[in-house]
Structure 1
């Protein structure tokens, strides 16, 4: 068996390299260490099912004959549970890394001092003309941006910039990147934030608090999205809008942030030719007068043309449930036939008693367990959401509790279910018009 792994305390470059390697080595299992950083943990709460990641304790290490290491080639940096592989004399090892030092001896090494390990694998993906999805492209770009400080660190190489351009061409989403990655914050950004606070115009609309700032910029300024997020938090408002005018180019960059379910910034920005997701978005408007642009934004906000997506818009229904006494093997077959990764479990009275997911099936170690009732392996910790809540709240619950599906309830009964796939459609603004 082939496995791909990376360093413990994994960051975005580690995960991006891991996922990129699965495209180059599709027959290998991606094994993510047990410890990851906070930003990555939030990202995985929504995206975990997409990448089909394995934990070290879910892999039979005795059957591993090939180890592919990415973003490290040091035994001490791997998950401790994988250390036994160092004792295998016939282990085939492949390394992809941008660090110089390492003690893992490999048959095949891809070492280069790029700013990011992800860059090396993206180069190979491009060379082999492999197809990648916009979500994969977004993750890979986050990995590169994290390790290069948005291409600003001295360790950044031309290859990193070329890889970033390739990923943007493959529809990497910069709005999603800004949500999960904390970018660099320098003097220029501090000055802009100070000016925004000085120029802030506070108001109320439809019961929500709003703060708007209009700022003139000279030349290109990085990380305005991060400045906007800090601005909203410091102003303590529901919605923040920044209008950044580049006098030389005669255009306005409009950036918005929302901290409430009912204001969908992505929809607002789409109406102005831009895009985004519910909590953040932007639009570049050429030849616009900042005052006129602000008036348009206020009209859109007050006119309620941006209403939040509700659960009924994205939930799956009718809900397919399984009885708690159904054999594990039968449930596994049902999931395969339906192409699902999990489903709610009910008792004889159709009351919700648990949820079973693909992760639960990894508890099955012996063949005779396939005859046990599904209640033996199901998760009994049930997180539900009421039908009248917003989709944004469902996404927050998934992140907070690291779960892949949430039953939607009305008067104590299941009427629908929200899955990670549904959340992805919402979060990446893929809902049909």
Structure 2
């Protein structure tokens, strides 16, 4: 008999991988460990009967001739499988994405560094053109999203993203996925949150308060960024960094903060990761949590005091200026010719307001294309002084309908800050 199993405290990636194997190995029996995560238990309450899996309890190992292990690489993580580990005649097949700590010696191994183990199985199913129902596609999407933080974690690969697209094309229900992947905390997360509160350190850089916690945690815990956000809100700090080690070879660093006071993305890029001023993450290899925390702390001072001014990144305003007496039709032509998202309406060098393509479309629809643009000027646009820091410009850009920000001295327009200008501050190109 051939059967499929996975690690105890089964999460959605493990469950999805077991079910995917029942497609790839017809006739194999999916055996579910006795201990599963609470959200998985809730899912199984209405889905188990149609997933072709049975509980581990009462299953006899004597008739097993072939074992398929998914999302696990260590005998200790399996549910009372010790007797099988000692059998030399047992065929073992592994599908896994954990690269370190392997103790299962398999005769056929599919182990690659992707965000979710089910991604590997889905690629094979897609290759074989295996038909799947929307319900199965939903479970498989839960598997990918739960292990990759909805494609936000640094472990994500393009292969995971490609499988998400494949599953949505096959009818995966995002409403169901959202219902099971909420931010509620189970016992394991509650205990971890307590440790974060107890073992964290608060440091102050000038007027900026930063919380740092460095912990070794159990593998398989997800929603770490949500816990970090809760910690930041609970402690009332301006920024929080969590250093979590579940693998002896690497630490995951997650940062959340207020962009007005600290640039999280700057720190994460310095650590080899990525992000933007308010959030980011990175993976540091071959260091302890304490050493990773020291690296983060050494970078905080620079990130808090990095006040790159917009005058160093702003663009020449000439391309974005339209004269106050120009017509809306002429402004529309300038939008088309220049491929820009917003215009600044000026009377000589004095800034009157902003104009967007939507304004031009409204004027054309109402037959007012010959009206001067100053009649459509939105006067309460965001204005920056040349000394305004880029972090504050990022915040203001969120509400800039024109997609550009005006840099002024007095009432004179001396430059504009575009989204591209700010992107060059957020990402390394």
TM-score of the superposed pair, with normalisation by structure 2: 0.55
- Structure with more relative contact order (C-alpha pairs < 8 Å, separation 6 or more): 1
Match of 1:417 in 2: 416
Which structure 2 residue ranges, 5 or more long, are not aligned? Answer: 1-131, 152-158, 168-180
Work out the CA distance in 1 between the residues paired with 2:346 and 2:353.
7
1:185 and 1:423, CA in 2 relative to 1: closer, same or farther beyond 3 A? farther
- Out of 251-260 and 360-369, give the one that drifted further: 360-369
Once the two structures are TM-superposed, the CA of residue 392 in structure 1 deviates from its matched residue by: 2.4
Match of 2:29 in 1: none
> Are 2:397 and 1:383 aligned?
no
Work out the CA distance in 1 between the residues paired with 2:304 and 2:233.
24
Match of 1:230 in 2: 230
1:318 and 1:376, CA in 2 relative to 1: closer, same or farther beyond 3 A? closer
Aligned with 2:427 (options 424, 427, 430) = 430
Match of 2:220 in 1: 220
SS in 1 for 2:317: coil
Work out the CA distance in 1 between the residues paired with 2:207 and 2:136.
47
Match of 2:77 in 1: none
SS in 2 for 1:353: strand
Once the two structures are TM-superposed, the CA of residue 309 in structure 1 deviates from its matched residue by: 4.4
Match of 1:281 in 2: 280
Once the two structures are TM-superposed, the CA of residue 217 in structure 1 deviates from its matched residue by: 0.7
Work out the CA distance in 2 between the residues paired with 1:214 and 1:315.
39
**Is the CA contact (8 Å cut-off) linking 1:357 and 1:378 kept in structure 2?**
no
Q: Deviations over 1:392-430 (max 9, x none)?
A: 22232233465522211223321211234444554xx33
Match of 1:255 in 2: 254
Work out the CA distance in 2 between the residues paired with 1:166 and 1:307.
42
**Is the CA contact (8 Å cut-off) linking 1:216 and 1:244 kept in structure 2?**
yes
SS in 2 for 1:364: helix
Work out the CA distance in 2 between the residues paired with 1:115 and 1:309.
50
Match of 1:334 in 2: 334
Which structure 1 residue ranges, 5 or more long, are not aligned? Answer: 1-110, 120-140, 152-158, 168-181
Once the two structures are TM-superposed, the CA of residue 257 in structure 1 deviates from its matched residue by: 1.9
Work out the CA distance in 2 between the residues paired with 1:274 and 1:366.
47
Work out the CA distance in 2 between the residues paired with 1:215 and 1:414.
50
TM-score of the superposed pair, with normalisation by structure 1: 0.54
Once the two structures are TM-superposed, the CA of residue 431 in structure 1 deviates from its matched residue by: 5.1
Work out the CA distance in 2 between the residues paired with 1:370 and 1:358.
12
- Root-mean-square deviation (Å): 3.7
1:214 and 1:149, CA in 2 relative to 1: closer, same or farther beyond 3 A? closer
Match of 1:353 in 2: 352
Q: How does 1:55-70 map to 2 (within 5 A)?
A: none
Match of 2:296 in 1: 297
1:116 and 1:328, CA in 2 relative to 1: closer, same or farther beyond 3 A? farther
Match of 1:197 in 2: 197
Work out the CA distance in 2 between the residues paired with 1:353 and 1:115.
57
**Is the CA contact (8 Å cut-off) linking 2:251 and 2:284 kept in structure 1?**
yes
**Is the CA contact (8 Å cut-off) linking 1:264 and 1:306 kept in structure 2?**
no
Work out the CA distance in 1 between the residues paired with 2:386 and 2:281.
30
Once the two structures are TM-superposed, the CA of residue 363 in structure 1 deviates from its matched residue by: 0.9
Q: How does 1:101-112 map to 2 (within 5 A)?
A: none
**Is the CA contact (8 Å cut-off) linking 2:343 and 2:402 kept in structure 1?**
no
Once the two structures are TM-superposed, the CA of residue 262 in structure 1 deviates from its matched residue by: 4.5
